[in-house]
Amino acid sequence: MTMNDQDLVIGLDVGGTEIKAGLLRGAEILSARRWPTEREKGPEHSVNQVLLAAKEMHREFPDAVAVGVVVPGVVDSKAGIAEYSENIGWRDIPFGKLVNEVTGLPVGFGHDVRAGGVAESLYGAGQGFRDSLFIPIGTGIAGALVIDGELYDNPYGGEIGHLDVNSGYMCACGIVGCLESISTGPSIVRIYNEKSSTKLSDSSEVVKAAKNGDLLAAEVWLASVEAIAFTLTAYINILAPEIIILGGGVSKAGDDLLKPIEAYIDRRLTFQKRPKLAIAHLGDHAGMIGSGIFGLRARG
């Protein structure tokens, strides 16, 4: 059976704070609900929250033909297992089997960022492009690689946030210099606050301060953006994507993010073709929509 994006499917996008759940028809969200992950109550409890969301969505929408579940961390999408999640504390959780047991439906399982990349490729900014890179920049940074129309689904692939950009800052992974140590939303705010007597709470406030003439904010923002651009330039030289799609909370800066990245890349490419750069179209629904795609593909 081929995937029919007119079929109804339940999509679950599991994060450290909440579970986004939706009844989907292709990229159309017909109904949406949210559950708290409640990771502070322990990994077993957060697993039960995912199962609760799946069970209640199935009870409410019995016409759904499949369920998709996507999670952060290291995942084995073929076996349906969440192998490792530092933030939530999961180790080898067989979500595919568990969700099938509470719903009786085929279950598609995968990584949240790669799900977002597939969704953007099929329904968002990546439509019409065979080769794309989707890179959400939020509390972490990872990449979803679509090559010749197919997702590169390696559990350890796309860890762009841990490329060495020589930042001089310690990353949460324990290594000094990673992209995540300087260019995530929390990193941008932390670096600014360490250097300033003014304390800000969000990367968007750093951008606003920079535009209002705060030289320190401008310096911190430019350093973070150029670290992203440095990483993307390396990626362009290796795999030459047709389009790079930026998502996550930091991407809400829009042209204040895109323009300096474009300028940096233009200074460093000679014979290479510069890809199109775009802001993600699907916003924070990309992972949920992608989980729905995984669900339909699991159906057969």
What is the mean predicted confidence (pLDDT) over 239-245?
95
What is the mean predicted confidence (pLDDT) over 164-171?
95
- Cβ(224)–Cβ(192) below 8 Å: no
Rounded CA separation 196/253 (Å): 21
Distances (CA, A) of 267 to 21, 207, 226, 229: 43, 23, 12, 11
Does residue 121 carry a pLDDT above 80? yes
9-117+284-299: which CATH topology? Answer: Nucleotidyltransferase; domain 5 (3.30.420)
Task: Specify the amino acid at residue 98.
Answer: L
- 263-288 pLDDT tens trace: 999 999 999 999 999 999 999 899 99
Does residue 3 carry a pLDDT above 90? no
Does residue 154 carry a pLDDT above 70? yes
Rounded CA separation 42/269 (Å): 48
What is residue 4's predicted lDDT score, i.e. its pLDDT? 67
Ramachandran angles phi, psi of 50, nearest 5°: -65, -45
- 8-57 pLDDT tens trace: 999 999 988 899 999 999 999 999 999 999 989 999 999 999 999 999 99
Rounded CA separation 66/71 (Å): 17
pLDDT band at 155 (very low <50, low <70, confident <90, very high): confident
What is residue 87's predicted lDDT score, i.e. its pLDDT? 77
Distances (CA, A) of 97 to 22, 83, 92, 177, 298: 20, 14, 12, 39, 13
Q: Average pLDDT over the chain, rounded to whole?
A: 94
Say if domain 127-280 classifies as CATH 3.30.420.40.
yes
Q: How many CB atoms lie within 10 A of CB 163?
A: 17
pLDDT band at 172 (very low <50, low <70, confident <90, very high): confident
Same fold, 9-117+284-299 and 127-280: yes
What is the mean predicted confidence (pLDDT) over 116-123?
96
Q: How many CB atoms lie within 10 A of CB 300?
A: 9
Does residue 1 carry a pLDDT above 80? no
What is the mean predicted confidence (pLDDT) over 163-187?
95
What is the mean predicted confidence (pLDDT) over 160-176?
93
What is residue 57's predicted lDDT score, i.e. its pLDDT? 97
For the chain, the domains span 9-117+284-299, 127-280
What is residue 118's predicted lDDT score, i.e. its pLDDT? 97
Ramachandran angles phi, psi of 183, nearest 5°: -120, 0
Does residue 2 carry a pLDDT above 50? no
Rounded CA separation 258/278 (Å): 8
- Cβ(66)–Cβ(158) below 8 Å: no
Report DSSP letters for 209-233, one per residue. Answer: HHHTT-HHHHHHHHHHHHHHHHHHH
- 65-91 pLDDT tens trace: 999 999 998 999 999 999 988 778 899
